[in-house]
Structure 1
């Protein structure tokens, strides 16, 4: 199981980012005529959050690849009481579920998908599909993938990536909520009261 996890995790994240960031970015860019990556490059606090998020993604990628190349290096950071086949199976299951969930959510967002906040173009407020159960299904899926990563590969570094990544996503979510409220007003307020930020269980 350990060897499977060692190969599965870097391949998973490579496919995840290729499909859920690069692939969807290219598809949306062709439809809207510009890049959907609208994260600012100034010295604002919003740009800083974006920079830290990119840094976390780089650290995650480098860490998983290094763990594949140097399998014994993770032994120093492993949380041994969590390194159980059951936890690893749950972790892999959560990661696969998260990938499918994010792909579906992105498909349902269609042309409204952005990396960041688009102040130049009004996007449609999506409230159907997975958005009936989560106002932020993509961020929920990304969080779920990090939880699964920690279960499958229980190390101190994976834990900190989960915590820091989750904090950055929660900050980004709140920035986007303010933007959506400005764009959609009472329609968004009604939606916000009906559906939970991460997940609504009826």
Structure 2
């Protein structure tokens, strides 16, 4: 089973980076001439989050590659024995695949409004239809599911730390984007905010 999991994770990693980052960025740039990656070198909280998230993606990919090609080295990541059963692995696989489909659908429904980060230079539509009627941040929700699922598939100290740090940074980025969207769209965004949860509906939590 482990050999099959290694091959499968390698394929998944390739597909994930292709369909979540490379292809949609290329497609948007070819169609509109807009670079969807909005992070630059300025010393801001927004750009700092972008740099750390990039490191998280690289480390996550490196961890998968170490699991696939460097079994001896992978042991130094301190595997967590409690989560090494097949049940947790299957749950993790379900989560990462659900997340991938969810992210791709969200990106498709965003159309030309899709960006990585906050775009202050171009005006785009506020998307509230489809999955955006269920969550204001469906792509971030998918990213959180991806990191949690990856932890269950490869439960170790590094994957746990990456998942926790990614969750905290995503929560901060969401709030930066909310402030920007309220400033840009005003009452339209506040109405949408009042009706749609930030991520998912949580009893007793603010939307």
Pairwise TM-score range, normalised by the shorter structure: over 0.9
Alpha-carbon displacement from aligned partner over 1:69-127 (angstroms, at most 9, x marks no partner): 11233334110011110110111111111110000000000000001111111111111
Matched with 1:73 is 73
1:50 aligned partner: 50
Deviations 1:106-165, CA, capped at 9 Å, x for gaps: 000000000111111111111111001110000100110111111111111111111111
Q: Which residue of 2 aligns with 1:185?
A: 186
| Kept after mapping to 1: 8 A contact 2:46/2:117 | no
State the match for 2:20 in structure 1. 20
- Normalised by the length of structure 2, the TM-score is 0.92
- Output one character per residue of 1:43-93: Cα deviation in whole Å (capped at 9) or x when no partner: 222211111111111111112112211123333411001111011011111
SS of the equivalent of 1:98 reads helix
Shift of 1:201: 7.3
In 2: Cα distance, 1:177 partner to 1:10 partner: 35
Aligned residues: 202
Q: 2:96–2:149: 8 Å Cα contact kept in structure 1?
A: yes
Trace 1:98-113 onto structure 2 (pairs within 5 A).
98-113=99-114
User: Structure 2 CA distance, aligned partners of 1:22 and 1:44?
Assistant: 25
Pairing 1:1-202 to 2, within 5 Å after superposition? 1-76=1-76, 77-200=78-201
Q: Runs (4+) of structure 1 moved beyond 4 Å?
A: none
Instruction: Give, in whole Å, the separation in 1 of the partners of 2:54 and 2:125.
Output: 26
Gaps in structure 2 of 5+ consecutive residues: none
Please say if residues 66 and 74 of structure 2, whose CA atoms lie closer than 8 Å, have aligned partners that are also in contact. Answer: no
TM-score (norm 1): 0.95
The answer for unaligned runs of 5 or more in structure 1 is none
What is the aligned-residue RMSD (CA, Å)? 1.5
Residue 200 of structure 1 and its aligned partner are, at CA, apart by 3.1
Distance in 2 (alpha carbons) for counterparts of 1:134 and 1:72:
41
When structure 1 is superposed on structure 2, of 177-186 and 10-19 the one drifting more is 10-19
